[in-house]
Structure 1
């Protein structure tokens, strides 16, 4: 449990109230991680502006797949649950369940799996990555801009996920999420086998 004194929804004004309203519209509730990061609302809005620029360029499906893979590699239950909820707006629960359990065996295209593998590598050992990692994405049809977008999406997830984990922010379970999906999103999938790296634990 975090020691931070967060602004309640009833107390929120100005930029903080705006941030809370945005989450109520997109998620149906205001999670604790939003309340924690909104203690500096200007910085939080700047980060949201960055992620919106990335997702609008990359496309929502790709952005959410990269985010789910990155959050899993980081060990961020907060982001897995929040983005699992968001992903249900663009795919069925059945498809998301398969991805949450093992995206390598979820019927995704080879390009989508490679993109998610790349996100996992970035979030676990970015210093070990080489041109071979980006070349794999290029060989599967991604443009240089798309490769940069995928990289920035995964890297941006590290900022929010690791910040929330470091501050021991409470975990909120999205409303109306099935127990089966919640369990799949919260179950670690390690070791992850990534081409070129083998098993990541």
Structure 2
């Protein structure tokens, strides 16, 4: 990582416990979390927001949320997030080819009409947010999304727009382990 942000020393118990859980569940502590370790409160806020968007109950599947993360990250050319969330998408779908295609060009992927509508919305929101209008929301409703789902789609897209900028600004490197995950 290009910025030198030393972790709090000693690491607060809550942060250390969270890192231990990551190591246990994932086999790694994602570098994005390590980057936040200089401030336990910021780390906790980031982790809680991520967990509420990506893991909490929603009308969106976990795979759909990862599709959003990958699509936004592809638009922003975020090496860290494309690598990390490409791996997550491969794991969730069990389909490395699908995940790689979404990473490169979601329009070429074998997606449902629902997912196509979702990613078209995400693409426009990422590239031309001021141009969003009722027709964009209605297209999602027509594809079967509720207004709460639309809010979740926008929230996930917004979170990754922010995360992409943070990763790019700090030259955050993805954990090497992500490259080999879920490729079998």
SS of 2:91 mapped into structure 1: coil
Question: Are 1:159 and 2:162 matched, yes or no?
Answer: yes
- 1:112 and 1:88 map into 2 onto residues whose CA distance is 16
Q: What runs of 5+ residues in structure 1 fail to find an aligned partner?
A: 182-201
Which stretches of structure 1, 4 residues or longer, exceed 6 Å deviation after superposition? none
What does 1:164-179 correspond to in 2, within 5 Å? 164-175=167-178, 177=180
In the TM superposition, what is the alpha-carbon distance from 1:153 to its structure 2 partner?
0.6
**Greater percentage in helix:** 2
Which residue number in structure 2 is paired with residue 31 of structure 1?
30
Q: 1:63, 1:150 within 8 Å by CA — same for their partners in 2?
A: yes
Preserved contact between residue 99 and residue 106 of structure 1 (Cα < 8 Å): yes
CA distance in 2 between partners of 1:122 and 1:22 (Å): 34
Q: Secondary structure at the match of 1:51?
A: helix
| Contact 1:27/1:86 (8 A) holds in 2 | no
Q: Deviations over 1:42-81 (max 9, x none)?
A: 2232232223223321321111111111111122111111
1:107 aligns with 2:110: yes
Task: Give 1:74's match in structure 2, choosing from 45, 59, 76.
Answer: 76
Contact 1:54 1:152 in 2 (8 A): yes
CA distance in 1, matches of 2:176, 2:51: 23
Alignment of 1:7-26 (within 5 A): 7=7, 12-26=11-25
TM-score in terms of structure 2 length: 0.83
Q: Does structure 1 conserve the Cα–Cα contact (< 8 Å) formed by 2:74 and 2:104?
A: no
* Other structure's SS at 1:89 match: helix
The whole-number CA distance in structure 2 between the counterparts of 1:74 and 1:124 is: 9
Counterparts of 2:67 and 2:15 in 1: how far apart (Å)? 28
How many residues align? The count is 178
Partners of 2:49 and 2:73 in 1: CA distance? 17
Question: C-alpha distance in 1, partners of 2:25/2:160?
Answer: 18
TM superposition score normalised by structure 1: 0.76
Structure 2 unmatched ranges of 5 or more: none
